[in-house]
Structure 1
Amino acid sequence: MKRTKEDYPTFNLFSIVGIWESVNLNPTVIIYRNDKDYLLSIIYVSETTKQASPATYVIQKDGSQYFIANVSKRLYIDYNPAKDVLSISSLGDYLRN
Structure 2
Amino acid sequence: MKRTKENYPSFNLFSILDTWESVNLNPTVIIYWNNKEYLLSIIYVSETSKQASPATYEIQQDDSQYFITVASKRLYIDYDPARDILSISSLGDYLRN
SS in 1 for 2:26: coil
Q: CA deviation at 1:36?
A: 1.5
Give 5+ residue unaligned stretches, structure 1. none
- Aligned ranges 1:1-97 → 2 under 5 Å: 4-97=4-97
Distance 1:2 1:15 in 2: 23
- 72-81 vs 1-10, greater mean Cα deviation: 1-10
The count of aligned residue pairs is 97
Distance 2:5 2:30 in 1: 28
Letter paired with 1:68: I
Q: Percent identity of the aligned residues?
A: 81
Distance 2:3 2:21 in 1: 35
Q: CA deviation at 1:2?
A: 5.8
SS in 1 for 2:90: coil
SS in 2 for 1:24: coil
SS in 2 for 1:14: helix
* Deviating 4+ runs (over 2 angstroms): 1-4
Q: CA RMSD in A?
A: 1.2
Distance 1:96 1:3 in 2: 29
Question: What per-residue deviation string (whole Å, max 9, x for no partner) do you get for residues 4-59 of structure 1?
Answer: 32101000000000000000000000000011100000000001111000000000
Distance 1:62 1:16 in 2: 18
Distance 1:13 1:21 in 2: 17
